[in-house]
Chains A and B, each alone.
Chain A
Amino acid sequence: MDRISLSLGSGGQLMKDFLKDLILKHLGNPTLDKFGDSAHLDLTGKIGFTTDSFVIHPIFFPGGNIGKLAVVGTVNDLVVSGIKPRFISLALILEEGFAVKDLETILSSIKTLADEAGVQVVTGDTKVVRKGEADGIYINTAGIGEVIAEPGNIKEGDLIAVSGCIGDHSISVMVARGEFEFEGQVQSDCQSLHPLLPLWKMGAKWMRDITRGGLGTILCELGEEQDVPVFIEESKIVLSPPVNALCEILGLDPLYLASEGKAAIIIPQDLETEAINFLRTLPLGEAAAVIGKIGGIGKKGEVVLKSVAGGLRLLEPLTGELLPRIC
């Protein structure tokens, strides 16, 4: 079979073969191999849990695909919440006619990322919908793990670091879609953040995955949720050359672009050198830097940005879509 057929959904031998020849072939592990309706898992202590769905287009982009993103998205949500990821579920919704070859690539990516991040796919589900009722493939993942840190206790003077350049995923997808007729190979920064886990033990206080809405939105949420003033310096934020070029040409604010493998991290002042040195050893971490702090001259809940020019302005969360300008 080289295309997914609607009859796969009716169960029976077709589904059995599908599970054996595709799912288990790529993702097999002792728990999944059992084929139960549910998985029994060994977890100790407090458990952390998250879920996310992925409906991206295009399904394949430079630096990844929807499968990689599905693992990364869920693993990262756990990592930044102080949870060591252990197990994930994988639910697929496939459009009738979806190419099996593409599914194999996606499953293979899922396996690669899961292994990298030290997680296992232990349960899942597959449904097929009629042609036109889904955009190729939709994926939902839920992830659980062991809580290893309780984020919080943020104080004035704490520093805000970013684990690398921002905005690469957004720009990668934009160029891959051929939007506005730009060309080039722009790699997404889609990657697992599990290498950040040691930072919790080192003393990190709070983390967030920089995804939709970008760093700017996260900082605004930080200010509001923690009821603290936030101060950041635009000159400390690093952009890769293609991201910088497109922001200049289209008038996009990089603070609102999404990454998929970068985190904002709050650390106490005395951890600065150790934390930044550590971050810079990680993949895509060369540009890791402290970009701001808790405190400064704004009111509680306000984010004040010092521009590259040296002037100050208030930062707001992204409202609605980020659109190119001619003005």
Chain B
Amino acid sequence: MMDPRLLREEKSVRVLLKEVEKSLSRIGRELKLMEVCGTHTMTSYRSGLGNFLRKIGLRLISGPGCPVCITPNGIISAAVEFVSETPNVIVATFGDMLKVPTNKGSLLKIVPDKGSSVKTIYSPEEVIDMAKKNPDKQVVFLAVGFETTIPSIGWVVEEALKKGYENVSLITCLRVVPPPLRAILSSGSVALDGFIYPGHVSVILGSLPYEFIAEEFRIPGAITGFEPVDLLLGIISVLKQIESGQPKVDIAYPRVVRREGNPVARQLMDRVFEVSDGEWRGFGIIPGSALSLREKKMDAVEKFSMDTSSSWENKNCRCGDVVKGAIEPPECPLFRKVCSPEKPMGPCMVSVEGSCLIHYKYGDVEWIA
């Protein structure tokens, strides 16, 4: 088997960048591509490719696929309040969520009530282990994620019901990718030349759910992986589609994504969750964009009568427009003047992959590789 380091090394990257540059000069104008998934934002800035591409006329805009960015304040603050005011409970969640500040504090810094604790998990399975090992405690799973993660969250629900772990329940903020993309395109608030579709969400979904973007809106796109070379292969595919004038949903990550996606995972999602309207921080409500628990007794918000309504937005915060790709962070009136990583006014400055945080840290960079 050949060396997988080829997917991230400088020499491979340089060769592909040449292809990108040739294509860009043929197209002859600056381009704006939306990369939907926070993990692509990560690859782009950690590798330094995002900066470089911007200098040669290709702007990668961060889209709404950032669970930290779009989870409403009220959902996280309900979890914070619960663990600080209820004895003998465990609130479990992914590391990504721990540092998010809310009007009630963050899960990382809050002092839990007597016998209670906040636990960071890598896998939803750990929630079941915690419930088993702590039969006298309530385990509440703050379950946040998109299609990549939702099947495993669904597995926890089925396992808890099957094995009778009555001390497990979930606060969910589960969102699906295609509806906000439609909302962004229908609003006409941003002119996009192409999409970099999320590679691992697409492992679950396949390519069909994005077809409307190519067919109705005539915008090219490529389902893309996460190594630096994968990102460039996705970009090259989109540029080819722009040049040929034939938009489609190309699978530029064929070693892992299949057209039909993962039907087993989707069936599980269907059994455990039902489609509902979802609130996206910064966006408002997007119809049909959320998944909610069918089995209400697993819903911690109902079980413990939690209040998830508390909002914590500065009315001048323009995260919603940033997440849609309508404006760049410096165009927000709060950027740098009031809003900073130490004192974030909105989710785009909170999340490690948030546009505003990245721009704040790396946006003034004047040099390129």
**Contacts from A to B (Cβ < 8 Å):** 180-181, 235, 249-250, 297, 304, 306-314, 316, 320-321, 323-327
Output the nearest chain A residue to B13 by Cβ-Cβ distance: A309
Residues of B near A309 (CB, < 8 A) are 8-10, 13, 47-49, 228
Contacts of A181 in B (CB 8 A): 122-123, 125-126, 129
Interface status of B94 (Cβ within 8 A of chain A): yes
Within 8 A of A (CB), among B117-167: 120-123, 125-126, 129, 145, 148-149
Determine if A325 and B95 form an interchain contact, defined as CB atoms under 8 angstroms apart: yes
1/0 per residue B101-126: CB within 8 Å of A?
A: 00000001000000000001111011
State whether the Cβ of B368 lies closer than 8 Å to any Cβ in chain A: yes
> Among residues 65 to 123 in chain B, which have CB atoms less than 8 Å away from a CB atom of chain A?
66-68, 94-96, 98-99, 108, 120-123
Q: List 24 A-B contacts (CB under 8 A).
A: A180-B126, A181-B125, A235-B10, A306-B48, A307-B48, A308-B8, A308-B9, A308-B228, A309-B13, A309-B48, A309-B49, A310-B369, A312-B365, A313-B48, A314-B361, A320-B99, A320-B108, A321-B98, A323-B98, A323-B120, A325-B352, A326-B96, A327-B67, A327-B68
Residue pair B8, A324 in contact (C-beta under 8 Å): no
**Which of B37-45, B204-212, B327-335 is found at the contact surface with chain A?**
B37-45
- Indicate whether A311 sits within 8 Å of B369 (C-beta atoms), given known contacts A323-B96, A327-B38: yes
A324 with B95: CB separation less than 8 A: yes
**CB-CB nearest in chain A for B10:** A310
Contacts of B8 in A (CB 8 A): 308-309
Complex Cα distance, B50 from A321, in Å, reads: 26
Ranked nearest first, the 3 interchain pairs of A and B with the lowest CB-CB distance are A311-B48, A323-B95, A310-B10
B250 at the interface (CB under 8 A from A): no
Say yes or no: B49 contacts A311, CB within 8 Å.
Answer: yes
Q: Are A306 and B369 in contact (CB under 8 A)?
A: yes
Candidates B123, B145, B362; contact of A313 at CB < 8 Å: B362
Interface residue? B46 (CB, 8 A): yes
Say yes or no for B51: interface residue by CB 8 A criterion. Answer: yes
Complex Cα–Cα for A102 and B361 (A): 48
- Docked-complex contact B362 and A307, CB < 8 angstroms: no
Would A310 and B48 count as touching, CB distance under 8 A?
Answer: yes
A312 partner residues in chain B, CB cutoff 8 A:
48, 51-52, 365, 367-369
Given contacts A324-B120, A327-B38, contact A316 B361 (CB under 8 A): yes
- Whether A327 contacts B353 by the Cβ 8 Å rule is yes
Interface residues of chain B: helix, strand, loop or mixed (majority): helix
Q: Residues 328-360 of chain B: 1 if any A CB is under 8 Å from the residue's CB, otherwise 0?
A: 000000000000000000000000110000000
Give Cα distance in the complex from A180 to B94, angstroms.
11
Task: With both chains docked as a complex, state the minimum distance between the C-beta of B35 and any C-beta of chain A, in angstroms.
Answer: 13
Give the interface SS of chain A, mostly helix, strand, loop or mixed.
Answer: loop
Measured CB to CB, the closest approach of chain A to B85, in angstroms, equals: 23
Residues of A within 8 A of B303 (CB): none
Size bracket of the B interface: 35 or more
**What separation, in Å, do the CA atoms of A181 and B45 have in the docked complex?**
30
Inside 8 A of A235's CB, which chain B residues have their CB? Answer: 9-10
A225 and B47 alpha carbons, distance in the complex (Å): 27
Q: What distance in Å separates the Cβ of A102 from its nearest Cβ neighbour in chain B? A: 25
Contacts of B10 in A (CB 8 A): 235, 308-310
User: A304, A307, A321: which contacts B47 (Cβ < 8 A)?
Assistant: A307
Query: A297–B96 contact, CB under 8 A?
Result: no
Most interface-central of B122, B125, B126 (chain A CB within 10 A): B122
Interface contact B228-A321, CB-CB below 8 Å = no
Give Cα A324–Cα B368 distance, bound, in whole angstroms.
30
Q: Are B96 and A325 in contact (CB under 8 A)?
A: yes
Give the chain B neighbours of A325 by CB distance below 8 A: 94-96, 352
A311:B47 contact, CB within 8 angstroms: yes
Given contacts A324-B120, A327-B39, contact A310 B95 (CB under 8 A): no
A314–B51 Cα distance when bound, in Å, is: 11
Tell me the bound Cα distance from A48 to B100 in angstroms.
42
**A321, chain B: closest CB distance, angstroms:** 7
- Contact: A180 with B123, CB < 8 Å? yes
* Cα–Cα distance between A301 and B38 once the two chains are bound (Å): 29
Q: Is B14 an interface residue (CB 8 A)?
A: yes
- Nearest-neighbour CB distance to chain A for B54, whole angstroms, equals 11
Bound Cα distance A136, B335 (Å):
48
- The chain B residue with its CB closest to the CB of A250 is B122
- In addition to A313-B48, A313-B51, 17 A-B residue pairs with Cβ atoms within 8 Å of each other are A180-B123, A180-B126, A181-B123, A181-B129, A235-B10, A250-B122, A308-B9, A309-B48, A310-B13, A311-B49, A311-B228, A313-B362, A316-B361, A323-B96, A324-B122, A326-B95, A327-B96
CB neighbours (8 Å) of A311 from chain B are 13, 47-52, 228, 369
- In the complex, A85→B264 CA distance in Å? 62
Cα(A254)–Cα(B99), bound, Å: 19
* Chain B residues whose C-beta falls within 8 Å of the C-beta of A316 in the assembled complex: 361
Cβ of A297: which chain B residues have Cβ within 8 Å of it? 367
- Give the distance to chain A from B168, nearest Cβ to Cβ, in Å: 18
The answer to whether A321 and B108 touch (CB under 8 A), given A250-B122, A312-B367, A327-B66, is yes
CB distance from A103 to the nearest CB of B (A): 29
Interchain CA distance A316-B39 in the complex, whole Å: 19
Residue A180 contacts which of B48, B121, B369 (CB distance < 8 angstroms)?
A: B121
A304→B368 CA distance, assembly (Å): 11
Inter-chain contacts of B108 with A (CB < 8 A): 320-321
* Cβ contact within 8 Å between A180 and B45: no
Known A-B contacts A250-B122, A321-B108, A327-B38; the reply to A313 vs B95 at CB < 8 A is no
